[in-house]
Structure formats: C-alpha cells, structure tokens
Amino acid sequence: MSKKLAVVALGGNALLRDNQIGTIDEQEDNTSETLDNLIFLLREGYDLVITHGNGPQIGNILMRNDAGEHLYGIAQMPVDICVADTQGGIGYMIDRMFRNVLNKHGIQKNVICIVNEVIVDISDEAFNDPQKRIGKIYTREEADELAKKKGWIFKEEVKAKEGFRRVVPSPVPIGVMNHKIIGDLARKGNIVIAAGGGGVPVYIDEKNDVRPAEAVIDKDLASSLLATLIGADEFYILTDVPYIYVNYKKPDQQIREFLNYADTVKLLNEGHFAKGSMEPKIIACLNFIREGGKMSVITEAFKLADKKYGSKITMEYE
C-alpha cells in the first residue's frame, strides 16, 4: 500500500453549523462526525495534516476582549494573540476528538497540534485596504471613539440595519514557519494539526526579526500553501456544500464534479464563484495544482468518505 500525504482543511460546518450557537458540545459532536469521515484516508495509507478555520471562534474571543476591557479594565490582546488562542483551543478540541475517533476504530496514531506562524509581506496591498470584518458590531459613536483611541478602521456592517465593524487586512500568505517539521512529523505517521485559522499572522522585518501583523489570513490559502511546501499529494477543503457549482442556487445550477486546471481558471475568470466564500477556495485549489499537487477536492464536511460526492480538480482530466 503506497503512502500518500494529504492536507485536509476543515471549514464551514465541519466545526459549527449555521443553526447552532456554538456550545462546546455542538462543536465536539460536529468535529467528531467530520473526523470520522477521514478514517478511510488512514485505511488507504494516507498520512494526514489537518488545518482548520476559526471564524466564529476568533469573533467570540475579540468580543470577550472587548467586554473584559469595558467591564473590568482588562487590557485587550492584539489579533495575532487571539488567532494563537484559537489555534490552541480548536487544535486541542480536534486533537482530543480525533484520538477518540481513532480509538473507536482501533487505530493507534499520535495526534499533535502545532501553534505556528504564517508569514505575510508587510508591503502587501491588503494593508492599505483592510476589508476583513472582525469582532462585534458597534454604533457609529463607539466606532468613532475606538478609531480615535486605538487607530482601528471601521466599515459599515452590511448585514445589519445600522452599525459598524472593525476591519483588518487579509494579506496573501507567503510562507509557513516550521513547515519542514510539520511535513516530517506527518510522514512519520503522526497526524498533525497546523496553520489553524490561517496561521498566526507575522512578517519578517529588516533585522530578520519576526513581528506580529494585525491581520487575518485566509485559511484556505494558508492551507494550500502549507500543502505545497510539504509536498502533499492531495489537498481537501471540507465546507458546507457537496460540490463546486456553476450558477449556484439559480434555476440553471450545474454540478461540476470533475474539473481540470484550465477549465477551472476559465470559470473563475468568468465570475462563477462568489467572493469571500467559494472564490478563495477555488484559488487555493488552483494554487496547489499549479505548484505540482496531484488533486484538490472540495466537498461537504460529512460526505468525504462517500466518494460519490465532491468536486475534484486536477491539472488534466483523469
């Protein structure tokens, strides 16, 4: 049985579903169900690296930050520290749930979570045009006061009748720290959890020191980069839809189960994929294939093991 290395990015309802409030019981149940879908990869001889999002969790931490400062005078922590917090908390949850899933299936493997940094370029244009909304919704007066006090940037919240949310840059990841260690651990048969929430955002200054960046990195782009850097064979994005669609949720909606690189680029350029949702996932998959990856797969979190689901992107048609 040949060994393959796969990077699996958990997102969408892999950890939390839209109709849930986010209790730890809900997240643990969802995570266990998702991880149970990965057992077939282990049985087929794959080594695994797991990455994950942190959308609801980072927002909750930032709101706790805000409440702690307002009510008790507790100093707020910057975004990079909050991302690291989510890496530790979510990583621990995935670690423990995976150990229990492995135990259920009679599989003995080590599971390790790495809190690691992802490198960005401080001159990335995203720093001049922050767009990623984070944290709670503020009134105009609160937003103006915080902008003056902390230098934060706010944009009007389109999903609310009135209110403003803080925005931070979402720069393109250019490096993953400790990727060689992550790859080595995985190829020795350990299940590695890494680059959670897109990684802790950092940049390298003129002295070659590591500096924090007040930013949020797209977790799919970071996961794709990690997959490329460690020479993974396959890259999976688990989300809340079972396929890639053209004309999504329209009367002429079409499933695209098998795509090659060129056709996927064409669909992307034609605007078939929504910005902020499917578009970054498609770009992440294309990046992986362009850099030598054999196959990218996008599918629903709980349907990976059922191979009749999922859209597969390869350089040429299989």
Any idea where the domains of the chain sit in the sequence? 4-121+177-314, 130-168
188 is catalytic: no
- Least confident residue range of 11-25, 76-90, 187-201, 215-229: 11-25
307 is catalytic: no
Averaged pLDDT for residues 156-167: 83
Averaged pLDDT for residues 245-267: 94
- Kindly indicate the confidence band of residue 12, based on its pLDDT and cuts at 50, 70 and 90: low
pLDDT of residue 258: 95
Question: Could you say which of 91, 116, 183, 219 is catalytic?
Answer: 219
- Kindly indicate the confidence band of residue 104, based on its pLDDT and cuts at 50, 70 and 90: very high
Q: DSSP assignment, residue 164?
A: E
Question: Could you say which of 30, 183, 281, 293 is catalytic?
Answer: 281
Question: Could you say which of 37, 132, 287, 312 is catalytic?
Answer: 132
Residue with tokens 């969802």: 30
Residue with the larger pLDDT of the pair 261 and 2: 261
The answer to whether residues 13 and 56 touch, using CB atoms and an 8 Å cutoff, is: no
249 is catalytic: no
Does residue 1 have a pLDDT over 60? no
pLDDT of residue 2: 60
Report CA-CA distances (Å) from 186 to 111, 200, 207, 231. Answer: 10, 21, 32, 11
The burial of 162, by beta-carbon neighbours within 10 Å (0-12 exposed, 13-18 middle, 19 or more buried), is given as exposed
13 is catalytic: yes
Is 1.10.3720.10 the CATH number for 4-121+177-314?
A: no
Strand bridging mode 191-193 / 46-52: parallel
Handedness of CA 24, 26, 27, 29 (dihedral sign): positive
308 is catalytic: no
Six token digits for residue 310: 């999922």
- Kindly indicate the confidence band of residue 22, based on its pLDDT and cuts at 50, 70 and 90: confident
Q: What is the pLDDT of residues 40-80, one digit of tens each?
A: 999 999 999 999 999 888 988 998 998 999 899 999 999 99
pLDDT of residue 213: 97
pLDDT of residue 13: 67
Q: What is the pLDDT of residues 281-307, one digit of tens each?
A: 999 999 999 999 999 999 998 888 887
Question: Could you say which of 13, 37, 54, 116 is catalytic?
Answer: 13
